[in-house]
Amino acid sequence: MAGKTLGTVVNAALREIGEPAITAFTSTYLMEQQLIAEANNTAREIRDRFEPEWANKRTSFLTTAQITTENVAVTNASATITSVDANGADAQNWGTAAAGMYFRAATDTTSYLISSVDAVSDPNTVVLEQTYLGTTATAATYRILKDTYPISDTDFGDLEKAIMPTAGPYSGWANSFPQRQLTYVPLAELLALCGGDRHRDTSGYPTHIARIIVNSSDYPQFILWPFPTTAMLVEVWYQPWITENTTFATTLFGGDAPPTASDAVEHRLKACACRLNKDRDGEQYWEQRYTLALAALIRKENTGAKRSGMDVATFRSNYGINYPVSSAILFETKGAQR
């Protein structure tokens, strides 16, 4: 749907206070510039207020398969580890290793962040962020893994849903379907779930995802747990940031919103224009219209929840049964026995 353009809503606000319509923006027209700023702020406010489904965008990324080929030579108190074969001879097995992955010896419970990789020389070598504290070994088994992934879409705001198109072994609702959707949790909860050890081997299929700080390129990063052991596609739905719109003919919200969303922005701009024109009655009227438009938007967003049941916390075991919230009679007559 096309929706209203920035120029359309600015002109509506100007006409509300008796100003002539314009055909292009002028940087020296202060009221016009203030209305443009108000339009951008309101569009952001609408999206932030209830994170509408119609604003969701899609992206994806691939996980990285773990490396366990042959063996590794490690030395206590050294930060450099070496690729070797089963006999301890030099090897080149780390062509897919990269900085930002983690190294863990099979007999160890400590993971070391990888700072750099030399995958060209023979043997391949890796430099760890910190010196290795484990036991020196000439041909130890190991794994090099990656559990942290950036999302490079420049308009990425916040994650809504993350889905593994490749079905995992875990059951979903009613134990009927393989669970593909990852549970989005805070980092503290993810660490609690894994007991503080993100790299304990727990079958290699992620079930949870948590956001952490941006990387050096300013892209948001996400930790998957359990860490993936094979290459898998992760489908991501997210709320995008709204960039500043200063173009007369550009539609609000990128043209992907219901008409009521554009109406809400127009009402807010009319309230802003009335405020600048010292028209308090007009300001209050259009602010109320803005509030009503927001309510209509939220109602549209919740259309799928109409006539839905509601779970009641009775502090007794239940079996997934819920009751429509149309009457209190059931709650007054329902016995304690199941």
pLDDT computed for residue 153 by the predictor? 94
Does residue 178 surpass a pLDDT of 70?
Answer: no
Measured between alpha carbons, how far is 9 from 28 in angstroms, rounded to an integer? 19
The C-alpha atoms of residue 118 and residue 126 are separated, in whole angstroms, by 6
* Count of CB atoms situated within 10 Å of the CB of 295: 12
Cβ atoms of 239 and 160 within 8 Å: the answer is yes
Interval 35-84: pLDDT, tens: 999 999 999 999 888 888 888 899 999 999 999 999 999 999 999 999 99
What would the mean pLDDT of 166-194 be, rounded to a whole number? 77
Q: What value does the mean pLDDT take over residues 135-150?
A: 98
What's residue 314's pLDDT?
56
Cα–Cα dist 330/211, whole Å: 42
pLDDT at 184 over 70: yes
- pLDDT tens figures, 78-130: 999 999 999 999 999 999 999 999 999 999 999 999 999 999 999 999 999 99
Phi, psi of 27 (to 5 degrees): -65, -20
What is the reported pLDDT for 333?
46
Q: Are 240 and 55 in contact (CB under 8 A)?
A: yes
Provide the percentage of residues in the chain whose pLDDT is more than 70. 84
Per residue in 238-264, pLDDT tens?
998 878 889 999 888 866 788 999 999
The pair of three-digit structure tokens given for residue 151, joined into one six-digit string: 């999302």
Per-residue model confidence (pLDDT) at position 13: 98
> Helix (H, G, I), strand (E, B), or coil: what is residue 337?
coil
Bigger pLDDT: 201 vs 50:
201
- The answer, yes or no, to whether residue 289 has pLDDT greater than 50, is yes
Q: What is the dihedral of CA 152, 154, 160, 164, to 10 degrees?
A: -30
Averaged pLDDT score across all residues of the chain = 88
155 phi and psi angles, rounded to 5 deg: -100, 15
Provide the pLDDT for residue 166: 67
Q: Which two tokens stand for residue 234?
A: 């992760």
Separation in Å, CA 200 to CA 93, 192, 196, 203, 205: 22, 13, 9, 9, 12
Confidence band of 298 (pLDDT split at 50, 70, 90): confident
Q: Quote the pLDDT of residue 55.
A: 85
Res 320 pLDDT > 60: no
Report residue 211's pLDDT band, with 50, 70 and 90 as the boundaries. very high
pLDDT for 219 beyond 90: yes
Q: Topology of domain 71-145, per CATH?
A: Elongation Factor Tu (Ef-tu); domain 3 (2.40.30)
Residue type, 302: N
Domain boundaries, the chain: 6-55+241-303, 71-145, 149-231
pLDDT of residue 328: 45
